[in-house]
A = this chain, B = another copy of it.
Protein backbone atom coordinates (compact mmCIF):
# COMPACT_ATOMS: atom_id res chain seq x y z
CA UNK A 1 0.00 0.00 0.00
CA UNK A 2 2.87 2.34 0.85
CA UNK A 3 3.98 1.86 -2.71
CA UNK A 4 0.86 3.66 -3.90
CA UNK A 5 1.31 6.80 -1.81
CA UNK A 6 5.05 7.24 -2.28
CA UNK A 7 6.51 9.63 -4.86
CA UNK A 8 8.16 8.10 -7.94
CA UNK A 9 11.52 6.43 -7.24
CA UNK A 10 12.99 6.90 -10.70
CA UNK A 11 12.99 9.87 -13.03
CA UNK A 12 12.22 9.67 -16.74
CA UNK A 13 15.96 9.90 -17.49
CA UNK A 14 16.83 7.13 -15.03
CA UNK A 15 14.18 4.89 -16.53
CA UNK A 16 15.41 5.57 -20.06
CA UNK A 17 18.90 4.45 -19.00
CA UNK A 18 17.55 1.35 -17.25
CA UNK A 19 15.53 0.37 -20.31
CA UNK A 20 18.44 0.80 -22.70
CA UNK A 21 19.72 -2.33 -21.03
CA UNK A 22 16.49 -4.18 -20.25
CA UNK A 23 14.37 -3.50 -23.33
CA UNK A 24 16.83 -2.75 -26.13
CA UNK A 25 14.45 -4.24 -28.68
CA UNK A 26 12.08 -1.30 -28.23
CA UNK A 27 14.56 0.75 -30.20
CA UNK A 28 15.34 -1.76 -32.88
CA UNK A 29 14.91 -0.25 -36.30
CA UNK A 30 15.30 3.24 -34.91
CA UNK A 31 14.30 5.09 -31.81
CA UNK A 32 10.61 5.95 -31.86
CA UNK A 33 9.30 5.73 -28.29
CA UNK A 34 10.33 8.16 -25.57
CA UNK A 35 9.23 8.99 -22.04
CA UNK A 36 7.57 12.39 -21.82
CA UNK A 37 7.10 12.47 -18.07
CA UNK A 38 6.53 10.40 -14.96
CA UNK A 39 4.38 11.29 -11.97
CA UNK A 40 3.13 9.51 -8.84
CA UNK A 41 1.36 6.40 -10.14
CA UNK A 42 1.58 7.41 -13.77
CA UNK A 43 3.62 8.14 -16.90
CA UNK A 44 3.24 9.64 -20.36
CA UNK A 45 5.02 8.17 -23.39
CA UNK A 46 5.31 9.41 -26.96
CA UNK A 47 5.55 7.28 -30.08
CA UNK A 48 6.89 9.19 -33.06
CA UNK A 49 4.83 8.92 -36.24
CA UNK A 50 6.91 6.53 -38.27
CA UNK A 51 6.35 4.38 -41.31
CA UNK A 52 7.33 1.31 -39.32
CA UNK A 53 4.13 1.41 -37.22
CA UNK A 54 1.62 2.06 -39.95
CA UNK A 55 -1.18 0.03 -41.43
CA UNK A 56 -2.59 0.62 -44.90
CA UNK A 57 -4.18 4.05 -44.92
CA UNK A 58 -1.25 5.56 -43.10
CA UNK A 59 -2.54 5.31 -39.54
CA UNK A 60 -0.86 3.69 -36.56
CA UNK A 61 -1.39 -0.08 -36.45
CA UNK A 62 -3.19 -1.86 -33.63
CA UNK A 63 -0.14 -3.90 -32.62
CA UNK A 64 1.96 -0.73 -32.42
CA UNK A 65 -0.63 0.75 -30.04
CA UNK A 66 -0.72 -2.41 -27.93
CA UNK A 67 3.07 -2.41 -27.67
CA UNK A 68 3.11 1.27 -26.71
CA UNK A 69 0.49 0.78 -23.99
CA UNK A 70 2.31 -2.23 -22.57
CA UNK A 71 5.50 -0.23 -22.45
CA UNK A 72 3.79 2.77 -20.84
CA UNK A 73 2.55 0.59 -17.99
CA UNK A 74 6.01 -0.89 -17.52
CA UNK A 75 7.49 2.60 -17.29
CA UNK A 76 4.84 3.70 -14.78
CA UNK A 77 5.54 0.63 -12.61
CA UNK A 78 9.30 1.19 -12.80
CA UNK A 79 8.87 4.83 -11.86
CA UNK A 80 6.84 3.94 -8.80
CA UNK A 81 8.74 0.87 -7.59
CA UNK A 82 12.25 1.41 -8.83
CA UNK A 83 14.07 -1.08 -11.06
CA UNK A 84 12.08 -4.33 -11.04
CA UNK A 85 13.27 -6.01 -14.17
CA UNK A 86 11.14 -9.08 -13.63
CA UNK A 87 7.72 -7.46 -13.71
CA UNK A 88 5.75 -9.17 -16.48
CA UNK A 89 2.45 -8.48 -18.19
CA UNK A 90 -0.23 -11.02 -17.29
CA UNK A 91 -3.21 -9.41 -19.05
CA UNK A 92 -3.76 -6.63 -21.55
CA UNK A 93 -7.15 -5.64 -22.91
CA UNK A 94 -7.49 -2.95 -25.56
CA UNK A 95 -10.51 -1.26 -27.10
CA UNK A 96 -9.88 0.54 -30.37
CA UNK A 97 -12.12 3.60 -30.40
CA UNK A 98 -11.20 5.95 -33.23
CA UNK A 99 -8.84 5.98 -36.19
CA UNK A 100 -5.66 7.75 -35.09
CA UNK A 101 -4.43 10.85 -36.89
CA UNK A 102 -1.19 10.89 -38.91
CA UNK A 103 0.74 12.32 -36.02
CA UNK A 104 2.71 11.24 -32.97
CA UNK A 105 0.75 9.21 -30.46
CA UNK A 106 0.74 9.85 -26.72
CA UNK A 107 0.07 7.15 -24.12
CA UNK A 108 -0.99 8.32 -20.68
CA UNK A 109 -0.84 5.52 -18.11
CA UNK A 110 -2.40 5.67 -14.64
CA UNK A 111 -1.80 2.87 -12.16
CA UNK A 112 -5.17 2.11 -10.51
CA UNK A 113 -3.84 -0.40 -8.03
CA UNK A 114 -0.33 -1.26 -6.93
CA UNK A 115 -0.49 -4.30 -4.68
CA UNK A 116 2.25 -6.58 -3.49
CA UNK A 117 1.68 -9.05 -6.28
CA UNK A 118 -0.25 -7.24 -9.00
CA UNK A 119 -0.32 -3.79 -10.54
CA UNK A 120 -3.38 -2.78 -12.59
CA UNK A 121 -3.36 0.29 -14.79
CA UNK A 122 -5.21 1.99 -17.57
CA UNK A 123 -3.68 3.68 -20.59
CA UNK A 124 -5.33 6.38 -22.68
CA UNK A 125 -3.95 6.50 -26.24
CA UNK A 126 -4.44 9.71 -28.22
CA UNK A 127 -3.00 11.24 -31.35
CA UNK A 128 -1.15 14.38 -30.35
CA UNK A 129 -3.48 17.34 -30.18
CA UNK A 130 -6.64 15.24 -29.99
CA UNK A 131 -8.92 15.11 -26.96
CA UNK A 132 -10.77 11.95 -27.96
CA UNK A 133 -9.16 8.59 -27.36
CA UNK A 134 -7.84 6.49 -30.23
CA UNK A 135 -7.74 3.47 -27.92
CA UNK A 136 -8.09 2.54 -24.26
CA UNK A 137 -6.14 -0.18 -22.49
CA UNK A 138 -6.43 -1.90 -19.13
CA UNK A 139 -3.47 -4.05 -18.19
CA UNK A 140 -2.14 -6.09 -15.29
CA UNK A 141 1.48 -6.72 -14.37
CA UNK A 142 2.63 -9.43 -12.01
CA UNK A 143 5.27 -8.12 -9.62
CA UNK A 144 8.21 -10.26 -8.59
CA UNK A 145 8.26 -11.19 -4.93
CA UNK A 146 7.64 -8.66 -2.24
CA UNK A 147 7.82 -4.99 -3.08
CA UNK A 148 10.96 -3.67 -1.48
Contact = CB atoms under 8 A, between A and B. Distances in A.
Contacts of A23: 55-56
Interface string A1-29: 00000000000000000000011110011
A9 B107 CA distance: 32
Interface string A56-79: 100001110011001000000000
A132 B93 CA distance: 21
Interface centre among A52, A70, A90, A122 (most CB of B within 10 A): A90
A96 B140 CA distance: 10
Contact of A112 (B56, B93, B117, B133): B133
A113 B93 contact: no
A118 interface: yes
B63 A67 contact: yes
Interface in A35-71: 52, 54-56, 61-63, 66-67, 70
A42 to B, nearest CB: 14
Given A25-B61, A63-B63, A63-B66, A89 B93 contact: no
A138 interface: yes
Nearest 6 A/B pairs, CB to CB: A63-B67, A93-B93, A97-B113, A66-B66, A62-B89, A91-B95
28 contacts: A22-B56, A23-B56, A25-B55, A25-B61, A28-B52, A29-B29, A62-B67, A63-B63, A63-B70, A66-B67, A66-B92, A91-B91, A91-B93, A91-B94, A91-B95, A93-B93, A93-B138, A95-B112, A95-B120, A95-B138, A95-B140, A97-B113, A112-B133, A113-B132, A117-B142, A118-B142, A136-B138, A138-B138
